[in-house]
Amino acid sequence: MPAQLFDQLHNDWQKVLSPLEAHILGLQKQISSQELAPEFADVFRSLSKPIGEAKVVIFGQDPYPTEGHAHGLAFSVDQSVSPLPPTLRNIFTELSDDVGSQPVHGDLSGWFEQGVLLINRILSTTVGSSMGHSSIGWQEITNAVAAELGKRNVVGILWGKYAGELSPYFRQDWIIQSVHPSPLSAYRGFFGSKPFSSSNQILIKNGMLPIDW
């Protein structure tokens, strides 16, 4: 049996989210018997590292609903996944145009290890159902996450309408915001937005090491 949802959180995040522990237990009761994306054990993977390590947070919408794709880090998939989800292909197109990086697989754990917190506004869905858990209460959790990160020197990259709701939590000169990179919207302002170089510029300006995207 995977650890209870609250127990999956790093101690730092347990302290921040302790006022919402009962709410998290309620979420667990709603989702634990369902076929989840990501799997139950990975729902809080994005919050499994110390808060102080975070330098950039990328907020998305909700997990990939395709079975085997979502693994707890927003937009990321396991190295074995091929072809890549269209949204991730668009991210990699912008990544290449922006900073010249050309990843060989879709696992973004390397970014996560450098302090890029990859988290969706809604942290779970049912396999095969996009936005299946949009109304069960995840937003209270991710509001609290954004509020904590916004107090710190963390660049907020907000992709899409749902992520954009979190902009008030961040200082305006630490926000990079655009439409979502999905095929439905990427051509309306994601391509050409240069989020990777822009976030590094903010970090360097504030005496922090840039991310090796």
Could you report the per-residue pLDDT of 17-56, keeping only the tens digit for each? 999 999 999 999 999 999 999 999 999 999 999 999 999 9
In a domain, 137, yes or no: yes
Assess whether pLDDT exceeds 50 at residue 190. Answer: yes
Beta pairing, strands 155-159 & 175-178: parallel
The reported pLDDT for the residue numbered 105 is: 97
| Residue 173 annotated among the catalytic residues of the structure | no
Bridge partners of residue 118, in order along the sequence: 58
What's the mean per-residue pLDDT of the chain?
A: 96
In a domain, 211, yes or no: no
136 is written with which tokens? Answer: 């069960």
pTM of this prediction? 0.97
Band (3; pLDDT cuts 50, 70, 90)? confident
Assess whether pLDDT exceeds 90 at residue 2. Answer: no
Q: Determine contact, residues 76/37, Cβ cutoff 8 Å.
A: no
In a domain, 212, yes or no: no
In a domain, 131, yes or no: yes
- Is 112 strand, coil or helix? helix
Single-letter amino acid, residue 44: F
Say how many Å lie between the first and final Cα of the chain, rounded.
35
The reported pLDDT for the residue numbered 189 is: 97
Assess whether pLDDT exceeds 50 at residue 1. Answer: no
In a domain, 125, yes or no: yes
Of the candidates 7, 12, 62, 97, the residue annotated as catalytic is: 62
In a domain, 210, yes or no: no
Q: Determine contact, residues 72/64, Cβ cutoff 8 Å.
A: no
Domain with 163 in it: what CATH number? 3.40.470.10
Number of domains in the chain: 1
Which whole number is the average pLDDT over 169-189? 97
| Structural domain boundaries, residue 126 | 5-205
143 is written with which tokens? Answer: 């509001």
> What tens digit of pLDDT does each residue of 81-125 get?
999 999 999 999 999 999 999 999 999 999 999 999 999 999 999
In degrees, to the nearest 5, what angle opens at C-alpha 211 toward C-alphas 207 and 213? 155
Q: In what order do the strands lie in the sheet with 155-159?
A: 116-120, 56-60, 155-159, 175-178
